[in-house]
Structure 1
Amino acid sequence: MKIAIIGAGNVGGTLAARWAELGHEVTLGVRSLPDAKADALARACEGSVEVATVQDAAAGSAVILLSVPWGAAQAAVESLGDLGSKVLIDCTNPWVWGEGLKLGFETSGAEQIASWAKGGRVTKALNQTGFENMADPVFAGRKAVMFVAGDDADARATTTALVSELGFEAIEVGELTSARLLEPHAVLWIELVTKHGQERGFAWGLLRR
């Protein structure tokens, strides 16, 4: 599958490398070329990841992953133009260092992104743990859970498949309004790390009888 990743930070870079390892055609989308950070990531992936402008990366891909800080999300989404029913996976959180959660419960960051994404089928996933756990989401033989939300069933299924390939137990939780729960859930992970002494190497799981 052709995947465009918008944002070459820790999350975007980790997912680019993992999906490329799994055989997907991955392109990092950047605002202008050349981009030293994205070029370095592509070199580290030994040619399995390409770099292009945001617009070219999105145009050439079936799935787009949005992985930028919340303050840059609107501009990044609007720069994509008409997405023509492409799947847009939102892994951002509407959370700002020192300010906390900017949206929650009555709406969500994902719903805001859906309102900016012309033609796109937005799903929410890959926002609920740190990038280290996206590189290896299996803990002592048990898969970390990653919840997936979205209004379009086919887009949810595509996202669920991509998340599952990474090694997560991917669980669909219905419509995009469920992101109102998933984003605060992610902030709990962040605050456990930043305020309560947890190491970054933990993720959520489900225990069943």
Structure 2
Amino acid sequence: MQIAIIGAGNVGRALTTAWRRAGHTVTLGVRAGGDEPARTFATSLGADVARPGDAAANAGTIVLALPWAAAESVVGELGGLAGKTVIDCMNPIARTPLGMGLALGHDTSGGEQVAAWLPDAHVVKTLNQVGAEIMADASGFPVPPAMFMAGDNEPAKARVAVLLADLGFEPLDAGDITKARLLEPYALVWINQAIARGKGRNWALAALERGARS
């Protein structure tokens, strides 16, 4: 597939690494000022670098791998993306009086906000439930790590499921885009275990069925 990854931070680089290894064509979309380090990285993998709008215009699947605080302004540079599959792997994390929490939740979600910004695109919430290290290499687990996804368009979710499987995950459909309200708190569970509870970053969730595997 032709994939545009908007954002060249840890997640954007991890996904570029893994999808290039799987044979996909990847363009990193970065704003002016951050393109030289991104270009050096991309060249080492045979990927390209372009401005976010140009990267999105030339791809059928666009991945938003941005800090939540920058998301609205960068998404505004991408155009309408009508009919395109947009993977939202961002988490609307914010500081709250009780510590780290979600800026949106309960009656909406970051995924729904992205869908409102891009009403003509097919937004799928996924790849927000694990750290970048596992996105880059999901091998070595006894079973494939689970990766839930939520979106309103079934063909788009089918395409995303292929991409998730190419990363080494077991894709699990959580339902429509409102189910992003269920998925985004998983990021806080993972961060709490990885950092606050000392579990480290080399773990992921799995869906195990009794008797399904020996």
* Same fold (TM > 0.5): yes
Give the letter aligned to residue 127 of structure 1.
N
Give the letter aligned to residue 4 of structure 1.
A
Given that residues 81 and 118 in structure 1 are in contact (C-alpha distance below 8 angstroms), is that contact kept between their aligned partners in structure 2?
no
RMSD (Å) for aligned C-alpha atoms: 1.4
Task: Give 1:162-177 correspondences, 5 Å limit.
Answer: 162-177=163-178
Relative to structure 1, is the Cα distance of residues 99 and 206 closer, same or farther in structure 2, using a 3 angstrom cutoff?
Answer: closer
Q: Equivalent residue of 1:119, what SS?
A: coil
Kindly indicate whether residue 25 of structure 2 is the aligned counterpart of residue 25 of structure 1: yes
What does residue 47 of structure 2 align with? 49
Q: Find the aligned partners of 2:67 and 2:117 in 1 and give their Cα distance.
A: 16
Kindly indicate whether residue 103 of structure 2 is the aligned counterpart of residue 102 of structure 1: yes
Structure 2: unaligned runs, 5 residues or longer? none
What is the CA-CA distance between 1:152 and the residue it aligns to? Answer: 0.5
Give the letter aligned to residue 85 of structure 1.
G
Q: Find the aligned partners of 1:16 and 1:156 in 2 and give their Cα distance.
A: 20
What is the CA-CA distance between 1:96 and the residue it aligns to? Answer: 2.8
Q: Equivalent residue of 2:175, what SS?
A: coil
Given that residues 123 and 155 in structure 1 are in contact (C-alpha distance below 8 angstroms), is that contact kept between their aligned partners in structure 2?
yes
Given that residues 18 and 137 in structure 2 are in contact (C-alpha distance below 8 angstroms), is that contact kept between their aligned partners in structure 1?
no
What does residue 122 of structure 1 align with? 123
What is the CA-CA distance between 1:43 and the residue it aligns to? Answer: 2.6
Deviations 1:25-47 (A, max 9, x none): 100001227712211221331xx
Kindly indicate whether residue 179 of structure 2 is the aligned counterpart of residue 181 of structure 1: no
Q: Find the aligned partners of 2:161 and 2:137 in 1 and give their Cα distance.
A: 17
After the TM superposition, which segments of 4 or more aligned residues of structure 1 sit over 6 Å from their partners? none
What is the CA-CA distance between 1:24 and the residue it aligns to? Answer: 1.0
Structure 1: unaligned runs, 5 residues or longer? none
Moved more, 28-37 or 141-150: 28-37
What is the CA-CA distance between 1:118 and the residue it aligns to? Answer: 4.4
Q: Find the aligned partners of 1:40 and 1:102 in 2 and give their Cα distance.
A: 34
Q: Equivalent residue of 2:201, what SS?
A: coil
Give the letter aligned to residue 192 of structure 1.
Q
Q: Equivalent residue of 1:148, what SS?
A: strand
Task: Give 1:1-209 correspondences, 5 Å limit.
Answer: 1-32=1-32, 35-45=35-45, 48-96=46-94, 99-209=100-210
Q: Find the aligned partners of 1:198 and 1:36 in 2 and give their Cα distance.
A: 35
Question: Given the two structures, how large is their TM-score scaled by the length of structure 1?
Answer: 0.94
Deviations 1:73-126 (A, max 9, x none): 111111101102110000000003554211112100000011111421100110
Q: Determine what percentage of the aligned residue pairs are the same residue.
A: 46
What is the CA-CA distance between 1:138 and the residue it aligns to? Answer: 3.3
What is the CA-CA distance between 1:135 and the residue it aligns to? Answer: 1.8
Q: Find the aligned partners of 2:151 and 2:119 in 1 and give their Cα distance.
A: 16
Given that residues 30 and 52 in structure 1 are in contact (C-alpha distance below 8 angstroms), is that contact kept between their aligned partners in structure 2?
yes
What is the CA-CA distance between 1:136 and the residue it aligns to? Answer: 2.1
Q: Find the aligned partners of 1:148 and 1:189 in 2 and give their Cα distance.
A: 16
What is the CA-CA distance between 1:53 and the residue it aligns to? Answer: 0.8
Q: Equivalent residue of 1:61, what SS?
A: coil
